[in-house]
A and B are shown apart, each in its own frame.
Chain A
C-alpha cells in the first residue's frame, strides 16, 4: 500500500476513534458544565450500555429494539445515579463529589463483574452494510456508521441546546444556578435531564464501540472514559463544541502517533502533548478563561 493510502487509512481510523471519544466527552462536558462534577462513573455507563444491548441481542431482539432499550436503561441509570449519589452532595466540596463518583464507578464495574463474570464476552456486531471503497482503501461499515451517527447526534444535540426551551434552561443553570432558579427554571429537573442525555450518548458510544472492538468486559469503559475526559479538558471543559474538537484532535493524535512514531510510547506522547497544551493554554482550546473576582 502506498504512503498516501496508508495516511488516508490512518485518517479514517482517527476519525472513528475520535467520534467515539466525542460522544463520551459530550456527556462529561455537559455534566461538568451544569453540576461542576467530574463524573468518573460516566465511562462505566458505556459498559452498561454495551452489556444491556448484548443481553437484548442474545435474547433475540432486533438490533433497533436492543439499542432503544439500552439507551433507556442507561438514561435511567444516569438519573438514579444523580438522585441517589450526587444530589445530596450538591453543596459539598468538589473533592467529596469526586470520591463519590469514583465509588459509583467501582460499584458499577464490580456489580457487573459479579453478574456477568470478568471474562470478555463476544459482541455480535449487527451493522451489516457493504464496505465502502475509496480508491485502494476500503472502509468497513462500522467505521462510517460510527462517524455518521456521532456527527448526526452532535448536530442534534447542538440544535437542542441552542434552540429549545429545555436547552436554554440547561445553559442558564450552567451559567448561574441561583439566577436560573429565580427565573422559574426547575433546576433539579434540568440537572436530571442533563444526566439522562449524557448517559444516553454514552450508551450509543458503548454500542458503537462494541461493534468496532468486539469482546467486551466490565472494565471496558474506564480507559475510553479517561481519554474522553482528557479530550473534554483539552477542548475546554464545559464547552460542547470544545469537547467535540478536543475528541477529534485526541483521536487523530493517538492514531498518528501509533502509526508513525511508536505504539509503545503512545500514552507517554499523548499525555505529554496534553500537559504541553494545558501549560500553554490553561483553559483548553475553546474554554473561556474566567477572571477570578477579588
Chain B
C-alpha cells in the first residue's frame, strides 16, 4: 500500500464517518425534519441504484434499460419476506435485503444469457423487454397485490441502514473496479475484440458486471420498499430505469464519484422544484437537454477547462 493511496483512504473514511455523524446529529436534533429526512433516504437509495447501474453502463459500456425491473424484484421479494415473517427488525431486515439482492441477481443472470449475444441497441431492447416482463408478471401476481399494490410493509429503512448500505455499495463497486476483474470489465468497454484476443473471457466478465449491477439494484429496491411501505408495479416503469440512467450519464459514465454527486443533485432538484409543480417536469426535461448540449459544446468546454485549470493552479499555490 503506497503512501498516496493510504492518504486517500484516510480522507475517504473520515468523510464517510463525519458525514454520518453530522447528518445523524441533524436528524436527532430535529433540524432535518421528516420531509427532508425522506429526501435524504431517497438520496441514499438513488446513490445505490446509480452506482450499480454505472457498473454495466459506465464501466462495461452496455446500455441497460431494465434497472427498474431488478429493483422491483428486490423490493417485492424483501417485502414478502418481512411481511410473512415476524422476527425482530434487526435480524429480519438485513436478511430481507440480502434475499432481495440475491433474487435480483438471479434475474440478472437469466437476462444476461440472451444479452451476451447482443450489443448496443439490441442489448438495450433486451433489457427493456426484461424490465417490462417483470413488471407485467408482478401485475398478475395476486400474492403481492397485483395492480392494486402491496400494502402494509414494515417501516424498517432508517437513515443508518440506508447510509450504511450506500457506503457498502460504493466500496464494493470501487474495489470491483480496482481489481483485475474490474480491469477486465473496462477492457471490454474499450475494445471487446482486443480484450478477447488478450485472453479475457469476455462472456464471463459481462455476466459478472450484469449480476453485480442487478444485485445492488435489488438491494436498493429492498430499501425503497421498506421506506415507501407501499409497492405497485406502476412505480417500476421504463421511466424509472431512464431516471437512473440519466443520473449515471450526467454524473459521467464510469465515474463513481460523479454518480454519487449527480444522484444527490437529481434527487434534490425535483424536490426543490415542487413549488412550481406544473412546470417541474418541463424544467427537468429542459435541464436534461441543455446539460447534454453544454457537455458537448466545444466553446463551453474550453471555458470550463480554463476555469478548472486556474482553480487547480491556485490550489497548488496554496500548498
Residue A145 is within 8 A (CB to CB) of chain B in the complex:
no
Residues of A within 8 A of B117 (CB): 279, 282
Residue B118 is within 8 A (CB to CB) of chain A in the complex:
yes
Interface size class of A (residues with CB under 8 A): 35 or more
Beyond A88-B297, A99-B288, A111-B282, is A267–B136 a contact (Cβ under 8 Å)? yes
Pick from B238, B253, B293 the residue with the most CB of A within 10 Å.
Answer: B293
Residues of A within 8 A of B14 (CB): none
In the complex, per-residue mask of B114-138: 1 if CB is within 8 Å of any chain A CB, else 0: 1001101110111011101100110
Is the Cβ of B133 less than 8 Å from the Cβ of A226?
A: no
Q: Give Cα distance in the complex from A96 to B286, angstroms.
A: 14
Is the Cβ of B285 less than 8 Å from the Cβ of A107?
A: yes
Within A68-101, the residues touching B (CB, 8 Å) are 85, 88-89, 91-96, 98-100
Residue B279 is within 8 A (CB to CB) of chain A in the complex:
yes
Distance to closest chain A CB from B294 (angstroms):
10
Beyond A38-B121, A264-B139, A275-B130, is A106–B281 a contact (Cβ under 8 Å)? yes
Residues of B within 8 A of A275 (CB): 114, 126, 129-130
Contact of B193 among A272, A282, A294 (CB under 8 A): A294
Residue of B nearest to A283 (CB): B122
Distance to closest chain A CB from B194 (angstroms):
8
Q: Is the interface of B mostly helix, strand, loop or mixed?
A: helix
Residues of B within 8 A of A268 (CB): 132-133, 136-137
Beyond A91-B296, A114-B279, A267-B133, is A233–B284 a contact (Cβ under 8 Å)? no
Residue B91 is within 8 A (CB to CB) of chain A in the complex:
no
Beyond A95-B253, A96-B292, A230-B125, is A106–B284 a contact (Cβ under 8 Å)? yes
Is the Cβ of A100 less than 8 Å from the Cβ of B293?
A: yes
Residues of B within 8 A of A85 (CB): 289, 293
Is the Cβ of B288 less than 8 Å from the Cβ of A102?
A: yes
Residue B63 is within 8 A (CB to CB) of chain A in the complex:
yes
Contact of A106 among B122, B137, B245, B285 (CB under 8 A): B285
Is the Cβ of A110 less than 8 Å from the Cβ of B285?
A: yes
Residue A292 is within 8 A (CB to CB) of chain B in the complex:
yes
Q: Give Cα distance in the complex from A230 to B295, angstroms.
A: 30
Residue of A nearest to B193 (CB): A294
Is the Cβ of A278 less than 8 Å from the Cβ of B118?
A: yes
Beyond A265-B140, A282-B118, is A96–B295 a contact (Cβ under 8 Å)? yes
Distance to closest chain A CB from B34 (angstroms):
29
Residues of B within 8 A of A266 (CB): 136
Distance to closest chain A CB from B233 (angstroms):
11
Distance to closest chain A CB from B115 (angstroms):
9
In the complex, per-residue mask of A277-288: 1 if CB is within 8 Å of any chain B CB, else 0: 011001110000
Residue A274 is within 8 A (CB to CB) of chain B in the complex:
yes
Is the Cβ of A233 less than 8 Å from the Cβ of B125?
A: yes
Residue A104 is within 8 A (CB to CB) of chain B in the complex:
yes
Contact of B278 among A32, A98, A114, A284 (CB under 8 A): A114
Q: Give Cα distance in the complex from A81 to B279, angstroms.
A: 21
Residue of A nearest to B124 (CB): A38
Residue B242 is within 8 A (CB to CB) of chain A in the complex:
yes
Q: Give Cα distance in the complex from A150 to B249, angstroms.
A: 38
Residues of B within 8 A of A91 (CB): 296
Is the Cβ of B293 less than 8 Å from the Cβ of A237?
A: no
Q: Give Cα distance in the complex from A110 to B283, angstroms.
A: 9
Q: Give Cα distance in the complex from A50 to B315, angstroms.
A: 57
Pick from A104, A278, A292 the residue with the most CB of B within 10 Å.
Answer: A278
Residues of A within 8 A of B137 (CB): 265, 268
Residue A103 is within 8 A (CB to CB) of chain B in the complex:
yes
Beyond A267-B136, A272-B133, A275-B114, is A114–B282 a contact (Cβ under 8 Å)? yes
Residues of A within 8 A of B268 (CB): none
Residues of B within 8 A of A279 (CB): 113-114, 117-118, 126
Is the Cβ of A106 less than 8 Å from the Cβ of B288?
A: yes
Residue B57 is within 8 A (CB to CB) of chain A in the complex:
yes
Residue A271 is within 8 A (CB to CB) of chain B in the complex:
yes
Residue of B nearest to A229 (CB): B125
Residues of A within 8 A of B293 (CB): 85, 88-89, 100
Residue B170 is within 8 A (CB to CB) of chain A in the complex:
no
Residue B246 is within 8 A (CB to CB) of chain A in the complex:
yes
Distance to closest chain B CB from A266 (angstroms):
8
Q: Give Cα distance in the complex from A283 to B117, angstroms.
A: 10
Q: Give Cα distance in the complex from A266 to B133, angstroms.
A: 10
Is the Cβ of A100 less than 8 Å from the Cβ of B121?
A: no
Q: Give Cα distance in the complex from A271 to B131, angstroms.
A: 10
Contact of B121 among A105, A114, A233 (CB under 8 A): A233
Q: Give Cα distance in the complex from A96 to B292, angstroms.
A: 6
Distance to closest chain B CB from A155 (angstroms):
28
* 6 residue pairs, one from A and one from B, having the closest CB atoms: A103-B288, A106-B285, A279-B114, A271-B129, A103-B289, A107-B285
Q: List 7 A-B contacts (CB under 8 A).
A: A102-B246, A265-B136, A267-B133, A276-B114, A278-B118, A278-B125, A279-B114
Known: A92-B292, A233-B122, A264-B139. 16 other contacts (CB 8 A): A89-B292, A89-B296, A94-B63, A95-B57, A99-B245, A99-B249, A102-B246, A104-B285, A114-B279, A264-B140, A265-B136, A267-B136, A268-B133, A271-B129, A271-B132, A271-B136
Which of A's residues lie within 8 Å of B, judged by CB?
A: 32, 38, 85, 88-89, 91-96, 98-100, 102-107, 109-111, 114, 226, 229-230, 233, 237, 264-268, 271-272, 274-276, 278-279, 282-284, 292, 294
Which of B's residues lie within 8 Å of A, judged by CB?
A: 57, 63, 113-114, 117-118, 120-122, 124-126, 128-130, 132-133, 136-137, 139-140, 193, 238, 242, 245-246, 249-250, 253, 278-279, 281-282, 284-286, 288-289, 292-293, 295-297
